[in-house]
Amino acid sequence: MTLRRNLIALACAATALGGIGLSMSASAADKMVLKAADVHPAGYPNVVAIEHMGEKLSKATNGRISLKMFPGSVLGGEKEMIEQTQVGAIDILRTSLGPVGPVVPEVNVFNMPFVFRDEAHMRAVIDGPIGQEMLDKISASPAKLVALGWMDGGSRSLYTKKPVRKPEDLKGMKIRMMGNPLFVDTMNAMGGNGISMGYGEVFTAIQTGVVDGAENNPPTLYTAHHYQAGAKYYTQTNHLIIPEIFVMSKVTWNKLSPEDQALVKKLAREAQFEQRALWDKSVADYTAKLKAEGVEFIKIDNKAFYDDTAPVRAKYGAQFADLMKRIEATKSN
């Protein structure tokens, strides 16, 4: 009798425990840890802004949704990470718009040389209706990416092993460009030979002479140490002012409730403006650091480069003629 009662008690306890086990795993399954990635290292403005967005997300959802950042290209190059985001292996990716062009051709209007007058003009465009339309176009495209917001990438200028002041100086020089045929055409029009290459390969390519230089903004030139590979002349061509974006995989987005989606969008807008403040500071900091490291900043009148790239704007811009007029008509704040 006693034995039977004990057995029943044991069975009840086991059921109860089993229940607890179940409910524990259910709540663990409800928790979502978003995998975020960036080619830039920890501490870079873009990385910091996304991490803060994750902290706010976690706070607002009582830890139900959190974010884990994988900086410094640990999950691959930008092209590969875009692919991983498309299939849902990465949840949130911060990327240049450059390598997004081959996946969502509509964004190439922002990837054209000298399409923006200056950075203030670019900001006015991305903060306004054109910027929102572009985010919507990316999200509506078949690329399986949801565009959450913009980030600043400043202006890209040339850095080379030998000084460059005019298009003729680039003759015979191989210059690394991001993976998008538009950029190879741009460099060829500027007088050099554009070579498409992943960001992670640039340091060694400069060092071994596979390329004679590359082009980027001061924070990237500094954090990627490309000047240490020998490219110490930084010519202020400012030929590309490419905004950057952060996107969520549509696979992940579709798992979120409408409320969570709205929360993510709200925090993304905040991240956009937080990054901008951090960005401005980092450009000033890294410019000073580059100069201290002996990088020579060469000031030039970039009109010759502007003129020489007119055929690229004509070739790629024809399909965006109306949009280009609206971009041109946008006044800087």
Using the minimum distance from each CB to ligand BDP, give the nearer residue, 73 or 188. 73
Using the minimum distance from each CB to ligand BDP, give the nearer residue, 65 or 279. 279
Beta bridge partners of 62: none
Quick check: 153 and 242 in contact, CB under 8 A?
A: yes
Can you give the length of the chain in residues? 333
What is the C-alpha radius of gyration for the chain, rounded to an integer number of angstroms? 24
Using the minimum distance from each CB to ligand BDP, give the nearer residue, 124 or 221. 221
Quick check: 294 and 229 in contact, CB under 8 A?
A: no
Beta bridge partners of 282: none
Task: Give, as ranges, the residues between 10 and 49 that touch ligand BDP (CB under 6 A).
Answer: 39
How many residues lie near ligand BDP (CB under 6 A)?
11
Q: Is 49 helix (H, G, I), strand (E, B) or coil?
A: helix
- Only one of the segments 7-15, 117-125, 214-222, 270-278 lies at the binding site for ligand BDP (rule: CB under 6 A); that segment is 214-222
Amino acid in position 115:
V
Told to check if 199 binds ligand BDP by CB under 6 A, we report yes
DSSP states along 166-187: SGGGGTT-EEEE-SSHHHHHHH
Among 91, 119, 244, 274, binds ligand BDP (CB under 6 A): 244
Quick check: 38 and 94 in contact, CB under 8 A?
A: yes
Show the site string, 58-97: x = touches ligand BDP by CB under 6 A, - = not. Answer: --------------------x----------------xx-
Task: Give, as ranges, the residues between 275 and 294 that touch ligand BDP (CB under 6 A).
Answer: none
Told to check if 178 binds ligand BDP by CB under 6 A, we report yes
Contact set with ligand BDP (CB under 6 A): 39, 78, 95-96, 153, 178, 199, 216-217, 220, 244
